[in-house]
Amino acid sequence: MMSDLPVFAFIGHPNVGKTSVFATLAERDTSEIDSTPGTTRKNVHYPLTFDREVYIQLVDTPGFEHHQYILAWFEKNYNQDNPAQAFIDEHLGQRDYHRDCEIMKVIADGAVVLYVVDDSNPVRQADKNEMRILSLASRFRMAVVNTHKENSQTREKWRRELSPNFSIIREFNAHNAWYPNRVEFLRAVREVSGDYKVQVDSCLQALQADWENRLAASAEAITELLRNALRCKLSGSIAGLSDNEIKKKRNELEEQYKEKVRHQLAVAEKKIRKLYKHTKWQKTLEEHPVRSSDLFADETIRALGMTSRQLAVATALVGATIGGSIDAAVGGTSFLIGTVMGGTAGALAGYFSTPTLMEVKVPGLLSLVLPSSDKRIQVQAVDNPNFVAVILDWMLLYCHEAMRWSHAREQTAEADGGAAGFIHQLSKHDLAVSAAFVAWVKKGKTSRSFPNPMKNMKDLIGDLLERIADGKLRPEAKAAQ
């Protein structure tokens, strides 16, 4: 008898990728995924839950062991009211048929069958037997073609063999699938059984709300990171130290500062991993063309963040905010023209600034001599908005990977064809939001245009993440400057 809760059972020959499809849909990278045939030995139940409410029950099943015998049995007994249950009643307790009974158990209970095949393999007699068994045993079924290889010589043949037994056939690449593919898959499953349409629709709505919540939480985590990194400062006394000792102290503080910012990045990345339900994915993007370098490396700073012109604009706007003229600078049809083209000191400082993310303030000679003067070295974020831009780009790249990294995928990251970041694609208004955020964090200044810089920045990052998720914003390499 069919329960009110939709149950989808993944069935197929061992090692065709059904556990991978299961893991991707369930976002469960702790699933046992192995290239050894027969890894799954019993039914594995996993509730698809959003906001503590279960919408769908997914079941990963072991592969058939006696397909030829089972087909012969069903051809003789298919006309019973529940042939799957009849098979269990006859074979339960027989050790040789334990896995086969596990499969029949979910079918007998009314589960929707999702029959998974690997189209990189030739169609075998065992596959044909399984297709026929499922057509006799189950009323509700869909074929899932695992297309993990781009070009398959046997894909069309699989479709021809599946068609007589499955009215719905869908292709699904479990190793590359992410949110939009999961939505598309559930919409297809929705058509298999009319009894489950309402429940699947509710699941799709919950899935969409959950995804939007993840994007919002990611934006909040990144905004907090940027604020904390901007406020990060380290200092140390150099009173009475020799020149060599002062140099050593400076180097120590610089390294400590870098490690502190790196730690802040690691904390934010951990939050992102948790949001997208990655438990085994300890992503460092070693093979990524940009993130394989250190955040503070010159090549990273040149690849990520703002272009020279953007930096000139944003630096001028930071100065305008602090000086109280940001509202005039961002208003009207001549947006930023007078501010940037007027050749202000702030704009020029931004345009010609060297690629660095930290600034070291060392007392002058007079300060070292006068007893009452401050004798401390201070290391802090560089005084231009590219600090925020580079770190934001770094985190957007991380989110881009986290969103798209399938839970069935275990190999390391693949180089992205030289693509770099996102920030150099920002609009002038986006730059103004970023500049107002920097001015607020560093100087406590706000304006009528951006009265809530923290929220304005979080909203900007949320919009960027939505555009990345929708494919409207893609990582691109900056043009040579």
Can you give the CATH number for the domain in which 63 is found?
3.40.50.300
- Does residue 481 belong to any structural domain of this protein? no
Model pLDDT, residue 316: 83
pTM: 0.86
Euclidean distance between CA atoms 7 and 43, whole angstroms: 12
Q: Do 223 and 137 share a structural domain?
A: no
- Looking at the fold, whether 223 and 149 belong to one and the same domain comes out as no
**Do 167 and 302 belong together in one domain?**
no
Residue 145 shares a structural domain with residue 222: no
The pLDDT score that the predictor gives to residue 3 is: 56
Query: What is the phi/psi pair of residue 361, to 5°?
Result: -105, 115
424 and 326 both lie in a single domain? yes
Residue with tokens 């930023």: 336
Beta bridge partners of 457: none
**What's the alpha-carbon Rg for the chain, to the nearest Å?**
29
Q: Where are the beta strands (DSSP E) in 167-287?
A: 169-172, 233-237
- Which pLDDT does position 480 carry in this prediction? 65
**Per the domain annotation, does 234 fall within a domain?**
no
Domain contains 83: yes
Q: Does 251 map to a domain?
A: no
β-pair type (112-118, 7-11): parallel
Residue 64 is classified by DSSP as: P
* Pair 36, 92 in one domain: yes
Please tell me whether residues 307 and 393 are part of one structural domain.
yes
Residue 20 dihedral angles phi and psi, to the nearest 5°:
-70, -45
β-strands 7-11, 53-60 pairing: parallel
Q: At what angle do helices 197-231 and 386-404 cross, to 10 degrees?
A: 150
Single-letter code of the amino acid located at 469: A
Task: Quote the CA–CA distance of 18 and 16 in Å, as a whole number.
Answer: 6
Rounded distance between C-alpha atoms, residue 124 and residue 432, angstroms: 62
User: Is residue 304 included in any domain, yes or no?
Assistant: yes
> Do 445 and 403 lie in a common domain?
yes
Q: Which of helix, strand or coil describes residue 406?
A: coil
- Say whether both 184 and 73 belong to one domain: yes
Residues sharing a CB contact under 8 Å with residue 437, sequence separation 6 or more, in sequence order: 226, 388, 450, 453, 454, 456, 457
Examine residue 426 and state whether it is found in any structural domain, yes or no.
yes
Is 202 among the domain residues?
no
What is the reported pLDDT for 62? 87
Residues of the chain with pLDDT under 70: 1-3, 30-41, 149-152, 282-292, 322-354, 364-374, 410-419, 480-481
Indicate the number of domains in the chain.
Answer: 2
Q: Are residues 48 and 150 in the same domain?
A: yes
Burial 317-326 (b: 16+ CB within 10 A, else e): bbbbbbeeeb
Q: Residue 446: what pLDDT?
A: 84
- Statement to judge: residues 168 and 263 lie in one domain: no
Helix axes 83-91, 67-77, angle to 10 degrees: 120
Strand, coil or helix: 465: helix
Range of the domain at 127: 7-192
Q: Is residue 224 part of a domain?
A: yes
Q: Beta partners for 169?
A: 143
Beta bridge partners of 233: 380
Q: Are 184 and 220 in a shared domain?
A: no
